[in-house]
Structure 1
Amino acid sequence: MTTEHVLELAVCTVADKEQALAARRQAMQAVARYPGFVSWRAVTACETADMLADLVEWENLDAAQAAGKRVMTDPEFAPYMAAISSVQLMQHFQTEQQI
Protein backbone atom coordinates (compact mmCIF):
# COMPACT_ATOMS: atom_id res chain seq x y z
CA MET A 1 0.00 0.00 0.00
CA THR A 2 1.36 3.43 -0.89
CA THR A 3 0.24 6.87 0.13
CA GLU A 4 0.58 10.36 -1.24
CA HIS A 5 1.79 11.57 2.14
CA VAL A 6 5.40 12.65 2.52
CA LEU A 7 7.61 11.74 5.46
CA GLU A 8 10.20 14.25 6.59
CA LEU A 9 13.12 12.77 8.50
CA ALA A 10 15.40 15.11 10.44
CA VAL A 11 18.28 13.74 12.51
CA CYS A 12 20.30 16.15 14.64
CA THR A 13 22.61 16.46 17.61
CA VAL A 14 22.05 18.78 20.55
CA ALA A 15 24.28 20.19 23.27
CA ASP A 16 21.70 20.29 26.07
CA LYS A 17 19.28 17.40 25.67
CA GLU A 18 16.76 18.49 28.32
CA GLN A 19 16.57 21.99 26.87
CA ALA A 20 16.20 20.58 23.37
CA LEU A 21 13.40 18.22 24.43
CA ALA A 22 11.46 21.09 26.02
CA ALA A 23 11.98 23.26 22.95
CA ARG A 24 10.91 20.40 20.69
CA ARG A 25 7.61 20.04 22.58
CA GLN A 26 6.91 23.74 21.90
CA ALA A 27 7.89 23.34 18.24
CA MET A 28 5.58 20.35 17.88
CA GLN A 29 2.63 22.36 19.15
CA ALA A 30 3.37 25.12 16.63
CA VAL A 31 3.85 22.81 13.64
CA ALA A 32 0.67 20.87 14.43
CA ARG A 33 -1.21 23.98 13.28
CA TYR A 34 0.59 24.24 9.92
CA PRO A 35 -1.38 23.48 6.74
CA GLY A 36 -0.88 19.91 5.56
CA PHE A 37 0.45 18.61 8.89
CA VAL A 38 -0.49 14.98 9.63
CA SER A 39 1.72 13.75 12.49
CA TRP A 40 5.09 14.10 14.22
CA ARG A 41 6.97 11.24 15.85
CA ALA A 42 9.77 12.56 18.07
CA VAL A 43 12.45 10.02 18.98
CA THR A 44 15.78 9.96 20.79
CA ALA A 45 18.73 7.72 19.97
CA CYS A 46 19.34 4.77 22.27
CA GLU A 47 23.12 4.62 21.80
CA THR A 48 23.94 8.29 21.20
CA ALA A 49 22.89 10.53 24.10
CA ASP A 50 22.96 13.80 22.14
CA MET A 51 21.07 12.61 19.04
CA LEU A 52 17.39 13.29 18.31
CA ALA A 53 15.27 12.46 15.29
CA ASP A 54 11.94 13.76 14.09
CA LEU A 55 9.67 11.95 11.66
CA VAL A 56 7.01 14.36 10.46
CA GLU A 57 4.23 13.30 8.12
CA TRP A 58 2.78 15.82 5.66
CA GLU A 59 -0.15 15.58 3.25
CA ASN A 60 2.22 16.30 0.35
CA LEU A 61 5.66 17.62 -0.55
CA ASP A 62 4.39 21.17 -1.10
CA ALA A 63 3.08 21.31 2.48
CA ALA A 64 6.39 19.92 3.80
CA GLN A 65 8.43 22.45 1.86
CA ALA A 66 6.19 25.35 2.88
CA ALA A 67 6.57 24.29 6.51
CA GLY A 68 10.34 24.15 6.08
CA LYS A 69 10.33 27.80 5.08
CA ARG A 70 7.88 28.80 7.80
CA VAL A 71 9.88 27.27 10.68
CA MET A 72 12.79 29.54 9.79
CA THR A 73 10.79 32.59 10.93
CA ASP A 74 8.33 31.06 13.43
CA PRO A 75 9.15 32.40 16.93
CA GLU A 76 7.61 29.28 18.49
CA PHE A 77 10.08 27.12 16.55
CA ALA A 78 13.14 29.30 17.21
CA PRO A 79 14.10 27.74 20.58
CA TYR A 80 14.26 24.28 18.99
CA MET A 81 16.39 25.59 16.12
CA ALA A 82 18.72 27.21 18.67
CA ALA A 83 19.01 23.95 20.62
CA ILE A 84 20.27 22.01 17.59
CA SER A 85 24.06 21.76 17.36
CA SER A 86 24.18 20.08 13.96
CA VAL A 87 21.85 18.49 11.44
CA GLN A 88 22.95 15.04 10.33
CA LEU A 89 20.09 14.46 7.88
CA MET A 90 17.09 16.43 6.65
CA GLN A 91 15.22 14.73 3.82
CA HIS A 92 11.72 14.08 2.48
CA PHE A 93 10.57 10.56 1.60
CA GLN A 94 7.60 8.93 -0.10
CA THR A 95 6.30 5.56 1.05
CA GLU A 96 6.96 2.88 -1.55
CA GLN A 97 5.66 -0.07 0.42
CA GLN A 98 4.25 -0.72 3.86
CA ILE A 99 3.37 -3.91 5.77
Structure 2
Amino acid sequence: MTPPNILELAVCAVTDKDAALVARKRAMKAVSGYPGFVSWRALTACETADMIADLVEWETLEAAQAAGKRVLTDPEFAPYMATIGSVKLMQHFVTEQQV
Protein backbone atom coordinates (compact mmCIF):
# COMPACT_ATOMS: atom_id res chain seq x y z
CA MET A 1 0.00 0.00 0.00
CA THR A 2 1.29 3.45 -0.92
CA PRO A 3 1.68 5.84 2.03
CA PRO A 4 -0.65 8.86 1.99
CA ASN A 5 0.54 12.12 0.54
CA ILE A 6 1.57 15.00 2.77
CA LEU A 7 -0.56 18.13 3.02
CA GLU A 8 1.27 21.35 3.79
CA LEU A 9 -0.86 24.15 5.21
CA ALA A 10 0.48 27.70 5.34
CA VAL A 11 -1.71 30.48 6.72
CA CYS A 12 -0.32 33.98 6.34
CA ALA A 13 -1.21 37.62 6.80
CA VAL A 14 -0.15 39.62 3.76
CA THR A 15 0.87 43.26 3.51
CA ASP A 16 -0.70 43.83 0.08
CA LYS A 17 -3.39 41.31 -0.84
CA ASP A 18 -3.64 42.28 -4.51
CA ALA A 19 0.13 41.98 -4.97
CA ALA A 20 0.14 38.70 -3.03
CA LEU A 21 -2.50 37.16 -5.27
CA VAL A 22 -0.55 38.08 -8.41
CA ALA A 23 2.76 36.91 -6.96
CA ARG A 24 1.21 33.67 -5.74
CA LYS A 25 0.32 32.68 -9.30
CA ARG A 26 4.01 33.02 -10.24
CA ALA A 27 5.07 31.02 -7.17
CA MET A 28 2.54 28.29 -7.97
CA LYS A 29 3.91 27.92 -11.47
CA ALA A 30 7.47 27.60 -10.15
CA VAL A 31 6.62 25.11 -7.40
CA SER A 32 4.56 22.94 -9.73
CA GLY A 33 7.86 21.78 -11.26
CA TYR A 34 9.48 20.80 -7.94
CA PRO A 35 10.10 17.10 -7.29
CA GLY A 36 7.25 15.44 -5.42
CA PHE A 37 4.71 18.22 -6.10
CA VAL A 38 1.10 17.01 -6.44
CA SER A 39 -1.20 20.05 -6.17
CA TRP A 40 -1.68 23.52 -4.68
CA ARG A 41 -4.98 25.01 -3.54
CA ALA A 42 -4.76 28.78 -3.10
CA LEU A 43 -7.23 30.07 -0.50
CA THR A 44 -8.34 33.52 0.65
CA ALA A 45 -10.10 34.16 3.95
CA CYS A 46 -13.74 35.18 3.89
CA GLU A 47 -13.72 37.13 7.15
CA THR A 48 -10.19 38.52 7.34
CA ALA A 49 -9.13 40.80 4.49
CA ASP A 50 -5.37 40.27 4.77
CA MET A 51 -5.42 36.50 5.42
CA ILE A 52 -4.57 33.88 2.82
CA ALA A 53 -3.77 30.19 2.99
CA ASP A 54 -2.06 27.66 0.77
CA LEU A 55 -2.78 23.95 0.87
CA VAL A 56 -0.01 22.18 -1.02
CA GLU A 57 0.06 18.43 -1.53
CA TRP A 58 3.36 16.55 -1.74
CA GLU A 59 4.21 12.92 -2.43
CA THR A 60 6.39 12.71 0.71
CA LEU A 61 7.38 14.74 3.75
CA GLU A 62 10.94 14.81 2.41
CA ALA A 63 9.75 16.42 -0.85
CA ALA A 64 7.80 19.02 1.13
CA GLN A 65 10.77 19.82 3.33
CA ALA A 66 13.14 20.08 0.36
CA ALA A 67 10.70 22.45 -1.36
CA GLY A 68 10.53 24.54 1.80
CA LYS A 69 14.27 25.10 1.61
CA ARG A 70 14.26 25.67 -2.14
CA VAL A 71 11.62 28.43 -2.11
CA LEU A 72 13.90 30.53 0.09
CA THR A 73 16.33 30.99 -2.82
CA ASP A 74 13.99 30.60 -5.82
CA PRO A 75 13.74 34.00 -7.58
CA GLU A 76 10.29 33.02 -8.91
CA PHE A 77 9.05 32.68 -5.33
CA ALA A 78 10.66 35.88 -3.95
CA PRO A 79 7.86 38.31 -4.94
CA TYR A 80 5.33 36.15 -3.09
CA MET A 81 7.52 35.92 0.00
CA ALA A 82 7.88 39.72 -0.05
CA THR A 83 4.10 40.16 0.39
CA ILE A 84 3.92 37.97 3.51
CA GLY A 85 3.75 40.06 6.65
CA SER A 86 3.55 37.14 9.07
CA VAL A 87 3.12 33.39 9.01
CA LYS A 88 0.29 32.32 11.31
CA LEU A 89 0.68 28.58 10.69
CA MET A 90 3.07 26.46 8.65
CA GLN A 91 2.63 22.74 9.22
CA HIS A 92 2.68 19.39 7.44
CA PHE A 93 -0.16 16.92 7.88
CA VAL A 94 -0.97 13.37 6.91
CA THR A 95 -4.57 12.27 6.29
CA GLU A 96 -5.88 9.98 9.02
CA GLN A 97 -9.44 9.65 7.72
CA GLN A 98 -11.48 10.93 4.84
CA VAL A 99 -15.18 10.77 3.90
TM-score normalised by structure 1 residue count: 0.97
Residue 35 of structure 2: aligned partner = 35
Percentage of matched positions with identical amino acids:
76
Unaligned runs of 5+ in 2: none
Q: CA shift at 1:9, angstroms?
A: 0.1
Unaligned runs of 5+ in 1: none
Alpha-carbon separation, structure 1, partners of 2:62 and 2:16: 32
Q: Is 1:84 the counterpart of 2:52 in the alignment? A: no
Alpha-carbon separation, structure 2, partners of 1:23 and 1:78: 9
Q: In the comparison of the two structures, how many residue pairs are matched?
A: 98
SS of equivalent to 2:68: helix
Residue 8 of structure 1: aligned partner = 8
Q: Deviations over 1:35-92 (max 9, x none)?
A: 0000000000000000000000000100000000000000000000001000000000
Alpha-carbon separation, structure 2, partners of 1:33 and 1:8: 16
Residue 74 of structure 1: aligned partner = 74
Q: Is 1:26 the counterpart of 2:21 in the alignment? A: no
Residue 61 of structure 1: aligned partner = 61
RMSD across aligned C-alpha pairs, in angstroms? 1.1
TM-score normalised by structure 2 residue count: 0.97
Q: CA shift at 1:4, angstroms?
A: 1.7
Residue 47 of structure 1: aligned partner = 47
Contact 1:3 1:95 in 2 (8 A): no
Q: Is 1:17 the counterpart of 2:17 in the alignment? A: yes
